[in-house]
Amino acid sequence: MPNIKELLASQLIGWSGRSKLRSQADGRINLENNAASGFSRLTLGLENNVHPALARVGSSSILRCVVGDESFSAQLQHDLRPIATPASQPINFNHSGALLHNTGAAEEVNLTLTGAFPGLWFMFFVAVGQNFRITAAAGDTIRVGSSVSGEAGNVVADTVGNALTLMALDTAQWIAIAREGTWTVT
């Protein structure tokens, strides 16, 4: 699962008026902004709130991060572009929302998902008749319909035109929210 530093560095979570991100010796992370942004300091990783809550605001893509009595709004950003992946590689939260396809593959392509984190999602499309395998991170599973992989399991398809959209339901489960064709779950 990505930590808050990785999320902020990736711009997956962003906010206006940011001035600095400061790590503390005790593991806390301070987000320090100017007074015009609505708060002067927000500390994440407090003993009483190790995992800040993210809640959707209405039907928009705006998320509200709540830590103790303080909060700020953040927007979840997605890549939304096709990306050719002709060779095996890890994919991370920077690719959330992208359409990953195996154009140019001469052999099996194995994409390893980042750790599940609610709200992340990826689309996959078999463009070349080679195995296109999607593998969960250690401790995560992938569910396609009633079939669930083992931890660090995978799904695979090799028929041109097969497509799959996976979304992280929580910090341990990827679920197929759309599927075209047959994907084998192991």
Taking only the tens place, the pLDDT of each residue in 96-145 is 888 999 999 999 999 999 999 988 999 999 999 999 999 999 999 999 99
What is the pLDDT at residue 94? 78
Residue ending a domain, choose from 29, 51, 76: 76
We report the CATH number of the domain holding residue 140 as 2.60.120.640
Residues 59 and 112 grouped into a single domain: no
Residue ending a domain, choose from 14, 47, 76: 76
Residue ending a domain, choose from 47, 76, 105: 76
Residues 118 and 162 grouped into a single domain: yes
Residues 41 and 103 grouped into a single domain: no
Percent pLDDT > 90 in the chain is: 50
pLDDT category of residue 79 using cuts at 50, 70 and 90: low
Residues 93 and 177 grouped into a single domain: yes
Q: Which domain covers residue 49, as residue numbers? A: 4-76
pTM, two decimal places:
0.62
Residues 12 and 52 grouped into a single domain: yes
Residues 178 and 95 grouped into a single domain: yes
Residues 57 and 107 grouped into a single domain: no
What is the tally of structural domains in the chain?
2
pLDDT higher than 80, residue 41: no
Q: What is the mean pLDDT of residues 21-38?
A: 48
pLDDT category of residue 80 using cuts at 50, 70 and 90: low
For residue 17 the two structure tokens come to 């008026």
57/157: higher pLDDT: 157
Residues 58 and 128 grouped into a single domain: no
What is the pLDDT at residue 24? 53
What is the pLDDT at residue 163? 97
Residues 113 and 178 grouped into a single domain: yes
Residues 97 and 49 grouped into a single domain: no
Mean pLDDT value across the chain: 74
What is the pLDDT at residue 76? 45
Residues 91 and 65 grouped into a single domain: no
Residues 101 and 171 grouped into a single domain: yes
